Chains A and B, each alone.
Chain A
Amino acid sequence: MAIIDRREFLKVSAGAASAVAVGGLAGCATTPNAASAGGARPKVVVVGAGFGGATFARYLKMWYPKAEVTVIEPNDKFVSCPFSNTVLAGINKMDDITMPYDNIKKVVDNFVKDTVTAIDSGKKTVTTKGGKTFAYDKLVLAGGVELMFDKVEGYNAEAQKTIMHAWKAGPQTATLRKQLEEMPDGGTFVMSVPMAPYRCPPGPYERACQVAHYFKQAKPKSKIIILDGNPDIASKKGLFLAAWKKHYGYDTPNSMIEYRANNMPRAVDPKKMMVGTEFDDVKGDVINVVPPMRAAEITGMAGVRDGNNGTWCTIDYRTFESKVVPNVHVLGDSALTNFPKSGSVANNTGKMCAYAISEMFSGRAVDPAPVVTNTCYSASSDSTAFHVATVFRWNEEKQSMLPEKGANGVSKEESELEFAYMEAWAKNVWADTLGL
């Protein structure tokens, strides 16, 4: 806590005692408060108000209220990717995963509905489509992922009207649900899994569960073909296989799900409703191709998409500052880390970055050995779920954050209890992210 905060607090709260208190506390100050010297308010610009950016903004205003925080976000409302697969199943509606930004707007200094078009990390400015320019002391990029449609032949703007990715929750989710509802019984749903790393590792396999659940209720003769770019199920493998067997007939002649590993979609043809892989062409009544992805466009503008052959952003775990451009911090899915690209990680690393930046603004050293967690639930039906949970801690020798011994693992089996916990997780992570 900065000395200035204590002063302000006491000035407001302690009334007559304030003169004594300020004198007493001033004597306790051992570190200079660089950022608040001369009364300057450090300017922080946050691009993207998803799980990472909104959480960061909210917590920085709690932990360093003096920061002048501007959030730039192109969307009117927050639509949650976690739980969007349950909309495909018809368990939830779009309204259930859509939330307002009202409370974030109240706590930050400036909430701008706009799209960033340029970042000048030399001049430390951000420019928007609306023609506004914002100066920053700290820039926080929380733009999620960019989908690389050009990696799949024929996946152009026209094809994107017919073939959904639904990997950014919103209109795509609603359209894919409508396509599934309109599909006749006995139809085939072809869906793909991009090569790792990608947003939400268990998400595609959960999607297969959720669509299979819907088919089982509404169109039991229908099939799902999963074209996986990876050599195997990339997350919670044992749990998903058990769920597919238990609920959807997997490994029997009547299996609703057909799984094909090493089947990266190379081309799509929306007229013929075909997906081409290296092996064959697969026909579907509804096609859902999730293209390969990289860190959001804004990270390219800032020159911080330096890692993994220019696809993701390397960061210092203790601050989330880019390793190549100073004062640019990268949160959530865009960052190249040991953490899974989950909503929980984006939410908690938003707080981790707010913690580091509030310490810097207070003139203190950042935590040399932080600890952070991930908890990620997947729904295997309309009433069962399972988790993966991990505690990561800074390892000085490896200069990295690694899972703690014994603090990394998955459920023994799916359960109804974990479905209830998953629903509670959603309510709490939305509340924590958006200040609901």
Chain B
Amino acid sequence: MKKSLAVTLLLAGALGAVASAHADPRARFMAANCAYCHGPEGKSHGAIPSLAGLEAKYFVDQMKAFKDGSRPGTVMQKHASGYTEAEYLAMAKYFAAIK
């Protein structure tokens, strides 16, 4: 019984890893759109902030704030205006899963 539970947990863990490393292909592509400024897999090499590991709610809130202008920005007002809220969330989940 204990052993089968352990197998189940191991399996659940493995599938969880699959889900994060191989996310929904559309979300993965949209997130990759950000890489030329924010770095491959959201890990920035310069002054532009990294996105990897950001909490999903924070990411979505920032995108909303860039769009409505409550957070001032340079390029981000335009980028945030180009995606739906469902797309913000899809990208947010992708970046949140990167360690």
Binding site for B on A (CB under 8 A): 1, 5-6, 9-10, 13-17, 20-21, 24, 59, 63, 343-344, 347-348, 351-352, 355, 358-359, 364, 367, 370-373, 375, 387, 389-393, 404-409, 411, 415, 417-418, 420-421, 423-429, 431-432, 435-436
Closest B residue by C-beta to A359: B25
Number of A-B pairs, beta carbon distance below 8 Å: 144
Chain B, 44-99, CB within 8 A of any chain A CB:
44-48, 67, 74-75, 78-79, 81-83, 87
Contact of B82 among A343, A393, A420, A428 (CB under 8 A): A393
Contact of A21 among B11, B37, B79, B87 (CB under 8 A): B11
Q: How far is it, in angstroms, between the C-alpha of A313 and the C-alpha of B17 when the chains are bound? A: 41
Closest A residue by C-beta to B39: A428
Q: Is the interface of A mostly helix, strand, loop or mixed?
A: helix
* CB pair A370 B39 closer than 8 Å: no
Residue from B10, B26, B29, B38 with most neighbouring chain A CB atoms (10 Å): B29
Given A20-B11, A21-B11, A391-B83, A355:B25 Cβ within 8 A: yes
Residue from B22, B32, B44 with most neighbouring chain A CB atoms (10 Å): B32
* CB pair A347 B47 closer than 8 Å: no
Q: How far is it, in angstroms, between the C-alpha of A435 and the C-alpha of B35 when the chains are bound? A: 11
Q: How far is it, in angstroms, between the C-alpha of A214 and the C-alpha of B83 when the chains are bound? A: 41
Given A13-B17, A344-B36, A428-B45, A409:B78 Cβ within 8 A: yes
Q: Is B1 an interface residue (CB 8 A)?
A: no
* CB pair B40 A5 closer than 8 Å: no
* CB pair A17 B40 closer than 8 Å: no
The minimal Cβ–Cβ distance linking A288 to chain B, given in whole angstroms, is 28
Chain B, 10-38, CB within 8 A of any chain A CB:
10-11, 14-15, 17-18, 22, 25-26, 28-30, 32-38
Q: How far is it, in angstroms, between the C-alpha of A241 and the C-alpha of B37 when the chains are bound? A: 26
Contact of A63 among B25, B30, B74 (CB under 8 A): B25
The minimal Cβ–Cβ distance linking A217 to chain B, given in whole angstroms, is 25
A-B contact sample (4 more), CB < 8 A, given A6-B22, A406-B67, A431-B45: A5-B22, A425-B48, A428-B46, A436-B45
The minimal Cβ–Cβ distance linking B48 to chain A, given in whole angstroms, is 4
Residues of A within 8 A of B48 (CB): 421, 424-425, 428
Residues of B within 8 A of A359 (CB): 25
* CB pair B82 A1 closer than 8 Å: no
* CB pair A371 B82 closer than 8 Å: yes
Residues of B within 8 A of A373 (CB): 33-34, 79, 82
Q: How far is it, in angstroms, between the C-alpha of A407 and the C-alpha of B45 when the chains are bound? A: 25
Q: How far is it, in angstroms, between the C-alpha of A352 and the C-alpha of B44 when the chains are bound? A: 21
Given A375-B75, A389-B75, A391-B79, A347:B14 Cβ within 8 A: no
Closest A residue by C-beta to B35: A432
Residues of B within 8 A of A63 (CB): 25, 28
The minimal Cβ–Cβ distance linking A133 to chain B, given in whole angstroms, is 33
Contact of B36 among A5, A14, A420, A429 (CB under 8 A): A429
**What are 11 contact pairs spanning A and B, CB under 8 A?**
A9-B18, A10-B18, A63-B25, A351-B29, A367-B26, A389-B75, A389-B79, A390-B78, A418-B74, A421-B48, A424-B46
The minimal Cβ–Cβ distance linking B41 to chain A, given in whole angstroms, is 9
* CB pair A20 B7 closer than 8 Å: yes
* CB pair B81 A375 closer than 8 Å: no
The minimal Cβ–Cβ distance linking A194 to chain B, given in whole angstroms, is 25
The minimal Cβ–Cβ distance linking B81 to chain A, given in whole angstroms, is 4
